[in-house]
Amino acid sequence: MKIAGGCHCGAVRYEINGEALTHALCHCSDCRRHSGAPMVAWAMFPADAVKTTKGTTKTYASSADGRRYFCADCGTGLFYTNAAILPGITDVQSATFDDPNVLPAHAHIQTAERIGWMEAAHDLPMFERYPPQN
């Protein structure tokens, strides 16, 4: 499949030409702390399927072999690689796809590190916009 995406400010754009190997919602503490969000959705592709088409990412070593690639202007996290654990693979933060609905997630991973209340997050009251003001 062909997927385009990029960061919030538009300085970095990428294109994917290939099939996703998996697509998972990661609850690990590294993803949480780097993103500032309860979890991160990762779509995994062969590295040569993912090309940056505009701008350049900044790289952060979030662990011994883990590398996180983000836009230095707006901070959006885009890619992850790990030459030791995932050689030849690029993980893409699928929420940065132009159309994030194009590829549904298949699983939750690293739930051993999940925030406790996230297990039942889908049971919380839902509002199309904001709760009614009284």
- Out of 16, 24, 25, 28, which residue is the one contacting Zn ion (CB under 5 A)? 28
Q: Please work out the total of residues on this chain that contact Zn ion, with binding judged by CB under 5 A.
A: 9
**In this complex, which beta carbon is closest to Zn ion, that of residue 6 or of residue 49?**
6
Pick the piece of the chain touching Zn ion (CB under 5 A) from 26-34, 83-91, 95-103, 121-129: 26-34
**In this complex, which beta carbon is closest to Zn ion, that of residue 32 or of residue 49?**
32
Q: Is 31 in the site for Zn ion (CB under 5 A)?
A: yes
* Sites for Zn ion among residues 57-116 (CB under 5 A): 71, 73-74
**Mapped to the 3 state alphabet, what secondary structure does the chain carry?**
CEEEEECCCCCCEEEEECCCCEEEEECCHHHHHHHCCCCEEEEEEEHHHEEEEECCCEEEECCCCEEEEECCCCCCEEEEEECCCEEEEEEEEHHHECCHHHCCCCEEECHHHCCHHHHHHHHCCCCCCCCCCC
- The tokens for 47 are 């590295």
- Out of 1, 9, 21, 37, which residue is the one contacting Zn ion (CB under 5 A)? 9
The residues that touch Zn ion, with contacts defined as CB under 5 A, are: 7, 9, 11, 26, 28, 31, 71, 73-74
